[in-house]
Structure formats: C-alpha cells, structure tokens
Amino acid sequence: MDRIGQMQHTIERLTRPGRGILAADESYPTITKRLSDFGIESTEETRRFYRSLLATTPGIGEYVGGIIFFEETLGQRTDEGQLIPAACEAQDIVPGIKVDKGAVELAGSDGEKVTQGLDNLGDRLDGYVEQGALFTKWRNLYQITPELPSRQALEANAEVLARYAAIAQSRGMVPIVEPEVLMDGDHDLARCAAVTEAAQATLFEALRRHRVLLEAIILKPNMVLPGKGQPRPAVETCAEETLRVLRRTVPAAVPSINFLSGGQTSEEATAHLNAMNQAEGPKPWVMSFSFSRALQNPVQAAWAGIAQNKEAAQQAFLHRARLNSLAREGRYTA
Ligand code: 13P
C-alpha cells in the first residue's frame, strides 16, 4: 500500500462506527501524578501492568479503535508475554504514539508555551513504525487570560503543529493534531469560544501552508467550556457553542474530530459528546472521543494498584468506553 492508502486505511479503522480513541500516553511526570491520586506508585512495572490491562480488556475493541501510547509502552509486554502493540492489533485496535516532547516557555513571550519535539522527528517516527505504531499525536496548549494567548503564541504553536503533521504524513502515519485551549481560569464561555476559534483558524492556515492532507488527519480539540472557576452552563449550551466554533473553522475534508476531556468529570465529558452528536445542523465529521482522564479515572480507582483488582478495573474501562461509544452515536442516556 502506498503512503496515502495506508493513512486512509488507518483512518477507516480509527473511525469505525461506535469507536473512539483512548489516550494512554501520559509522560512520566503526568502518569506519576495521575496514579498517585489513587495511591499508586508509578514504576516501570506498574505502568506496564496498567497499560497492558487497558489494551487486553476483553471486548474493548468494540468501543476503542485506537490507543495512543507513550514511547516506553511500545516496547513493553502484557502479562501473557505479548508486545503491547501486538496485543492491541489482536483486538483490532490501532496502536499510536505521542511524539511531542512537551511544552517549554516561548522565548520573547509573556510566559506562554510552545511545544517542542521536531528535531529528528522523522527518524524517531521510523523507529515507532517498526514497533507497530500507525498514528501519532502532538499536543499544543494555550492558556487563557484577559490578554492571552498572544498572536505570537498562536502562530508559533500552529507552525510546529503543522510541521509535525507534515512529517508524520511523510511516513504514512496519521497525525492527531491537538490544539488544547486549557480550562484553567475564570473566563466565560464566549471567551473560550473566541480563543478556540482563533487557535483553530491559525492552525488550519498553517496546515494548508505545509500542504498537510486534511483527509488524513484527526483533529483533537477541547470542547468549548467556561473556565474552571465559573459555573457550568447547560450541557446543550456548551455543545452548541463547540459546534459553532467547529463549523466556522474545521473543513469538511477532515474525517474525524476526537475531543479531549480536559479535566471534565467522566459523566460531563460523555454528556457533552452525546449532546453534540444529537444537535441539529451540519456535522460533516465523525465526532468521537480521545479521552484520557474521563476514560481512565474510574479504571485507576477500581484498580488502586492491587493486582487482584485487574478484572474489576477492566470492567470499569469497558463500562465507560461503552457509554462513550453510545455518546459518539448520540444514543447515551445518563
Ligand atoms: P484528557 O482527556 O485527560 O484531557 O487528555 C487528553 C490528552 O491526551 C491530552 O493530551
């Protein structure tokens, strides 16, 4: 298969009806924090056990079409001794890999961030392909204040995200492009909508400049929500605002929009996804999930670092994934 055919095939597998994506690609500091919230120590072995538990959950391939991993996991094995990417394929789940190297201060800005990781990216991707990864993820983050994000931050981040996507596609890997507008702060819904629109508009200009094939990307945006410090409007209001921004910015050529959960509770994230799929009006893309916390929090709570809880943890994962699968079709009832 040629490069474009390969990406089309990966997109088809990731977007099959009822499926979404699990983001299990937390970097060392992030997974350490997530696990410690449930009293679990992050070691090479607990990370292996946990991520293998996710990938080998019986029946999970019905709801999860792809899992994004962190580099370490691609070389780890399940309890049965199978490499984790192969265990995913055995359930018809596409293995993916987070390839950015995190955010650093954007020099010359007022404390804003830019994501790094472009150096040697092509060579790194060649190695990930050998390990079985077929798609990639890169996350930008944008902080909202009354003055920020600046034009400088919007453009610098759009440029690196587009360059990453072009490099991934040159290897036949589907890029997930993630411009995350953070929920931290006291801003209102309208401010989040305006910043999300600006971030996406700037991103799509850059994707075009770098000749990224829009048919072979997945967009992973935040939902439009007010800052954490504000009361949450009705689920339908946030869904409508999110859709309004997406319709203005995301070309119909993009096959799938897989939202991040961004610190919402599991129930909120599922309800918002469901409301968007139920809403009236044009929706030319698949709208599904690429949640990390909203899928994994209940799993980590059920596991609690105790090996005997493995089955209960897998049940919790299956349950939450099934509800999000329903929401992806607009068929979830709380
Ligand atoms: P959350 O769903 O927890 O926001 O994580 C998604 C993700 O992968 C962030 O990069």
Using CB atoms within 10 Å of the CB of residue 177, give its burial: 0 to 12 exposed, 13 to 18 middle, 19+ buried.
Answer: buried
The Cα 320–Cα 185 span in angstroms is 28
**pTM greater than 0.90:** yes
Per-residue model confidence as pLDDT tens digits over 224-242: 999 998 999 999 999 999 9
Which atom of ligand 1 is nearest the CA belonging to 261? 2
Residues framing ligand 1 (Cβ under 6 A):
23, 139, 178, 260-262, 291-294
pLDDT at 302: 98
The Cα 140–Cα 103 span in angstroms is 7
Parallel, antiparallel, or unpaired: how do β-strands 103-105 and 113-115 relate? antiparallel
pLDDT at 146: 96
Say if CB 177 and CB 219 are below 8 A apart.
yes
What does the longest C-alpha to C-alpha distance in the chain come to? 53
Say if CB 25 and CB 70 are below 8 A apart.
yes
Question: What is the Å distance from ligand 1's center to 69 Cα?
Answer: 12
CA distances to 27, 47, 285 from 330, in Å: 32, 33, 14
Which atom of ligand 1 is nearest the CA belonging to 269? 2
Q: What is the pLDDT along the chain (334 residues), one digit of tens a residue?
A: 899 999 999 999 999 999 999 999 999 999 999 999 999 999 999 999 999 999 999 999 999 999 999 999 999 999 999 999 999 999 999 999 999 999 999 999 999 999 999 999 999 999 999 999 999 999 999 999 999 999 999 999 999 999 999 999 999 999 999 999 999 999 999 999 999 999 999 999 999 999 999 999 999 999 999 999 899 999 999 999 999 999 999 999 999 999 999 999 999 999 999 999 999 999 999 999 999 999 999 999 999 999 999 999 999 999 999 999 999 999 999 8
Question: What is the Å distance from ligand 1's center to 34 Cα?
Answer: 12
Q: Is 178 known to be catalytic?
A: yes
CA distances to 16, 32, 52, 129, 288 from 28, in Å: 31, 6, 16, 22, 27
CA distances to 12, 276, 287 from 135, in Å: 12, 25, 18
Which atom of ligand 1 is nearest the CA belonging to 296? 3
- Residue whose pair of structure tokens reads 């599922």 in the numeric block: 270
Question: What is the Å distance from ligand 1's center to 263 Cα?
Answer: 8
Instruction: Please enumerate in sequence order all residues whose Cβ is within 8 A of that of 311, keeping only pairs 6 or more positions apart, or say none.
Output: none
Q: Which of 330, 296, 213, 286 is nearest to 20 (CA)?
A: 286
Give, in degrees to the nearest 5, the angle at Cα 143 between 325 and 221: 25
The Cα 94–Cα 134 span in angstroms is 7
Distance, first Cα to last Cα, the chain = 43
The Cα 230–Cα 116 span in angstroms is 31
pLDDT at 334: 81
- What is the number of H-type helices and E-type strands within the chain? 12, 10
pLDDT at 25: 98
In the chain, the amino acid numbered 246 is: L
Among the listed residues 26, 159, 178, 241, the single catalytic one is 178
pLDDT at 1: 87
pLDDT at 283: 97
